[in-house]
Amino acid sequence: MPEIVPPYLLDRIAESAGPRFPLAAEAARRALLRPPSPRLGPGPLPEQPSALPDAPSAPVRRISDAEGLEKLPGRLVRREGEPATGDEAVDEAYNGLGDTHRLFERVFGRDSIDGAGMPLEATVHFGDRYDNAFWDGERMVFGDGDGEVFQGFTGSLSVIGHELAHGVTEHTARLRYEGQSGALNEHVSDAFGALVEQYALGQDAEAANWLIGEGIFTPEVEGRALRSMLEPGTAYDDDVLGRDPQPGHFRDYVETSDDHGGVHLNSGIPNRAFALAARELGGFAWEHVGRIWYDALVSGRLREDETFAGFAAETLRTAGERFGAESRERQAVLRGWQAVGVEPEAGDDAGADRPAPRSAE
């Protein structure tokens, strides 16, 4: 169950926060003990669209309220088209689902998470001071935070976009949530979470802050966000939380058995490659690097146990297919990967040793 707050951060809070943040320490312990929710596997793959021109966006949203219980889905409190309720978490979730749907449909021509009009479900006020947000295979689930370290998770649009993008990955590349392929799974969600926020705000690559989870820390924490795509390892540096441990170069790749092989840690490496390529190209990131990454995600050529090198090669291939083999877009992507020490698989972007594209079932 991919969650926005990584277990290594919850571990740190549970072990070290007691004297300063007693509620947060207890909330982190409960979050770590909570068993994973059952996750439904994706059904047959629908036809996966590549990026298309602007199209109408017509989401179907349903927001439920767990009312402090860890029971899903909760009480339905807002349906598509209904007015704001005045409950901040309900209305932020509703708006965030709409912003995410809008990016995927208008920019990439994708009709919701599954590409076939899947309703967007969310549950807010999950649990007692629950310190996380997650996608469980069917819906977005948001905790309210403990109030000492974390605030409500609906307040960050990049968090909403991140978790819904896990659903897109489930229905496309199905990157296995372990090791390098798991770090790529997390990276893809960070990349599209950032794009959702940038698209909603009309920000270009230079103006964007490239932060994931900005605003979910309380003012008591010395930190800007959970992660920085542009500068991994700099998102927070706090006496209790410690220093952001994400590496930004492949030479510093973390080998660990924790967190499914370090999926949240090592996602910083492809995150930086993406952000560097976007900044080099300038303009709106969803118009170039975003389209390249989306094309790679739906190409059918990615392996479920994909490596960084294989994913890099596929992005070079899709960049060439969309913009041309000698295009500045492809060159920027190549330089992004080189800057983080990832060497694309030799010949892969020309089609060697890639699986044949998966056809729709």
pLDDT of 357 > 60? The answer is no
Q: Per-residue confidence at 273, pLDDT binned at 50, 70, 90?
A: very high
Cβ–Cβ < 8 Å for 210, 230: yes
Cβ–Cβ < 8 Å for 52, 295: no
Q: Where are the domains of the chain?
A: 7-350
Higher pLDDT, 253 or 30: 253
pLDDT of 10 > 70? The answer is yes
pLDDT score recorded for residue 353: 54
Say how many C-beta atoms besides its own lie within 10 A of residue 361's C-beta: 7
pLDDT score recorded for residue 43: 46
User: Average pLDDT of 90-107?
Assistant: 96
Higher pLDDT, 334 or 17: 334
pLDDT score recorded for residue 18: 83
User: Average pLDDT of 247-271?
Assistant: 97
User: Average pLDDT of 302-307?
Assistant: 97
Give the pLDDT confidence of 57-89 residue by residue, as tens digits. Answer: 689 999 999 999 999 999 999 999 999 999 999
Q: Per-residue confidence at 348, pLDDT binned at 50, 70, 90?
A: very low
**Could you tell me which of 315, 330, 292 has the C-alpha nearest to residue 50?**
292
Name the burial class of residue 60, with classes exposed (0-12), middle (13-18) and buried (19+) by CB atoms within 10 angstroms of its CB.
Answer: middle
Average pLDDT, the chain: 91
pLDDT of 109 > 50? The answer is yes
Task: CATH number for 7-350: choose from 3.30.300.30, 1.10.390.10, 3.20.20.70, 1.20.1250.20.
Answer: 1.10.390.10
Name the burial class of residue 250, with classes exposed (0-12), middle (13-18) and buried (19+) by CB atoms within 10 angstroms of its CB.
Answer: middle
User: Residue 41 and residue 20: Cα distance in Å, rounded?
Assistant: 41
Cβ–Cβ < 8 Å for 170, 137: yes
pLDDT of 16 > 90? The answer is no
Name the burial class of residue 35, with classes exposed (0-12), middle (13-18) and buried (19+) by CB atoms within 10 angstroms of its CB.
Answer: exposed
Both tokens assigned to 299: 């190409």
What crossing angle do the helices spanning 328-339 and 308-323 adopt, rounded to 10°?
170
- Threshold 0.85, pTM exceeds: yes
Find the Cα–Cα–Cα–Cα dihedral 45, 47, 48, 50, rounded to 10°. Answer: 170
Tell me which residues are annotated as active site: 163, 264
Q: Please, what is the Cα angle at 126 between 124 and 130, to 5 degrees?
A: 120
Strand partners, 121: 62
Higher pLDDT, 202 or 44: 202
Higher pLDDT, 33 or 70: 70
Pairing, β 227-228 against β 211-212: antiparallel
Give the pLDDT confidence of 163-222 residue by residue, as tens digits. Answer: 999 999 999 999 999 999 999 999 999 999 999 999 999 999 999 999 999 999 999 999
pLDDT of 318 > 50? The answer is yes
Residues with Cβ within 8 Å of 314's Cβ and at least 6 positions away in sequence, in order, are 296, 299, 301, 302, 306, 348, 349, 354
Strand partners, 134: 3, 141
pLDDT score recorded for residue 359: 42
User: Residue 45 and residue 38: Cα distance in Å, rounded?
Assistant: 21
